[in-house]
Amino acid sequence: MSVLRDTLIRFGESEAARLLVTRSPLRALSRRFVPGERIEDLMRSIQQAQADGMTSTCNYLGEAVQEAAQASRAAGVYVRVLERMHKQRIKGNVSLKLTQLGEGVSDKCLGENLTRVLHTAGSVGAFVRLDMESSAHTRRTLDALERLWARGYRNIGVALQAYLRRTPGDVERMIQLGARVRLCKGAYAEPESVALQERDEIRQSFSKLTRRLLSEGHYPAIATHDEAMVDVTLDHASRESIPPDAFEFQMLHGVRRDLQHELVADGWRVRVYVPFGEHWYPYLMRRLAERPSNLLFFAGSLARESLLGFRRGDRRSRRQGR
């Protein structure tokens, strides 16, 4: 795996490799997961999601910004996305990383850009999710959310990663605060001292935290493509009489579309996470390098839909949400 990881990292940094992928049929495949570079590309995808009965959360790709001008530009893109969604009557939110808006530049830079995005989101009735980055940023991200909460912002939430050993405490912290949580398994390569490593352990943590958030959380988002975890969610919702409008599933754009449509057809809420932007190539390579098993995951999603003969409207019956 280390050889594959190193190879993917080198590919992500290589301009020659980027040009090769961009000019080859692989670019068309990448659009399955990252629809394009422009806001127009994003809008087409989230309009389709809405037509299919889903909502969207939009992520402008980029992180670890070191220049104030870049951070300001990223904030401006989010502002335009929010305004476009409102103008076109699309139900959507945005999801952003603090390092993209200037955390590495200065507190002043980050504060100005965050306030700008949150103000626009509030004016159009949209929600802003603070994406979680590697464990080095977890505490700072949660502290930032609490500072914003203390200033009166309520259209804001955070993502938490079930494989981090600290996450049970963070879940309780967000429940006490009243903030909305997106729970995912976790995608970054972390040491054993920080994160669970075994698949079964991670699933157990995800299951436990899902049940806790469904029972005591505030409109949690259960972010998974794992059917076993979907069933854990639905079993708990049924057992505790938790209605379909009390939570939502979240899935990546282009991943397990068959499952997305199946859940919507059965009355459950699904939100699609749609990344876009010029940094689509390093984004894909970085995600694959962080966990090379993601390569098999994406390939498996394509193969599964192919085997099932996925078409819009096809589905297998699952417990009804209504």
**Rounded-to-integer distance, Cα 74 and Cα 115, Å:** 13
Residues with catalytic function: 131, 182
According to DSSP, residue 277 is labeled S
| HEC-encoded secondary structure of 68-91 | HHHHHHHHHHHHHHHHHHHHCCCC
**Rounded-to-integer distance, Cα 103 and Cα 127, Å:** 20
- The CA-CA-CA angle for residues 238, 315, 297, to 5°, reads 90
Where does the chain have alpha helices with state H?
Answer: 2-13, 15-22, 26-30, 39-51, 68-87, 107-124, 138-150, 167-177, 199-216, 227-239, 257-265, 280-290, 293-308
Nearest to 251 by CA among 266, 262, 236: 262
Task: Tokens for 251, please give them.
Answer: 């899935």
**Rounded-to-integer distance, Cα 92 and Cα 273, Å:** 10
The dihedral formed by the CA atoms of 308, 314, 315 and 321, expressed in degrees to the nearest 10 = 160
Rg over alpha carbons for the chain, rounded to the nearest Å, is 19
